[in-house]
Amino acid sequence: MKLFAYFLCSWLPGIFLSQDTWRVSLNNKTLLSTSVENADKNIVVVPSSQLRQASYLAVRYTEANKKKKWERTIALYNDQDAELYHQEGSQLKIKTGELSRLFKDSRSIKIYTWSLPTDPQMKQIIRIRRIHLCTLLLK
């Protein structure tokens, strides 16, 4: 009985404490790695000199409990909440030249993600909630 109680106590916290995580990197350097959605703290300052290098911005979203038959989208939005760019999947990669062009219209870019079922009937009945991953500020 003690062995069962030990197993249960060591296994249950892992289920309840597992969270989705995401990492934002620019030019292969990690700028943000977190599992907490916080629009005030998840701010990344991007020096304009970094955008001149031939590389990319990468956002990788890792789901703790991936849902089958659901598809994830990661998107970039400007100050007026207009979509600038999006990619399907749990990873977004955008070249720094393209990112520099997006910064010409807006000094900040917000990165969001959401997940939708692949079944068209299910898509019609659920509510979408965007998750704010981070805000990029051009310096």
Q: What angle do CA 94, 138, 76 make, to 5 degrees?
A: 40
Q: What pLDDT is attached to residue 6?
A: 46
How far are the Cα atoms of 3, 31, 90, 116, 127 from residue 60, in angstroms, in the given order?
38, 12, 6, 17, 23
Q: For the whole model, what pTM was predicted?
A: 0.82
Q: What pLDDT is attached to residue 15?
A: 47
> Which of 73, 109, 77 has the alpha carbon at shortest distance from 88?
73
Q: What pLDDT is attached to residue 28?
A: 85
Q: What pLDDT is attached to residue 1?
A: 54
- 23, two tokens: 């990492």
Q: Which of the residues in the chain have pLDDT under 50?
A: 3-12, 14-16
Q: What pLDDT is attached to residue 126?
A: 86
Q: What pLDDT is attached to residue 4?
A: 46
DSSP of 63-126, one letter per residue? -SSPPTTEEEEEEEE-TTS-EEEEEESSEEEEEHHHHHHHHTT-SEEEEEEEEEESSHHHHHHS
